[in-house]
Amino acid sequence: MAVSGILLDYKKTKNGHFPSLVFVTGKRLHSNPEKGPMLQTGVREFPALHNGPVTTDVVGNKGRFEIRDIALEEWLLSAEFSHFEEAMTLALSVNA
């Protein structure tokens, strides 16, 4: 839900200029080895599960990925984002 909140707020505050976003999920140094990289996997999968913007790996750092400015702008202006916005606004209001 935190990622959805960030993406919803991002469109409202950027007034048409969308710089790239970098997400730091960590390298799972303190994760349970049996469960794997839960945060890293979940946060990376979230955009794809919601027809969101394409994510790009940060070379040399498995604990980071980014959503580049052009991918973010295209998605925030798309019909897919409108559907995402409606669904997440409803979900956030239910969880409030």
Q: 93 in helix, strand or coil?
A: helix
Res 53 pLDDT > 80? yes
C-alpha 58: how far from its chain's center?
15
Amino acid at 49: L
Res 69 pLDDT > 80? yes
Query: What strands lie across the sheet with 21-24, from one edge to the other?
Result: 21-24, 61-67, 56-58
The parent domain of residue 16 ranges over 2-95
Q: pTM value? A: 0.65
Cβ-contact 26, 40 below 8 angstroms: yes
Question: pLDDT class for 96, splitting at 50, 70, 90?
Answer: low
Structural domains counted in the chain: 1
- Residue 28 has a pLDDT of 61
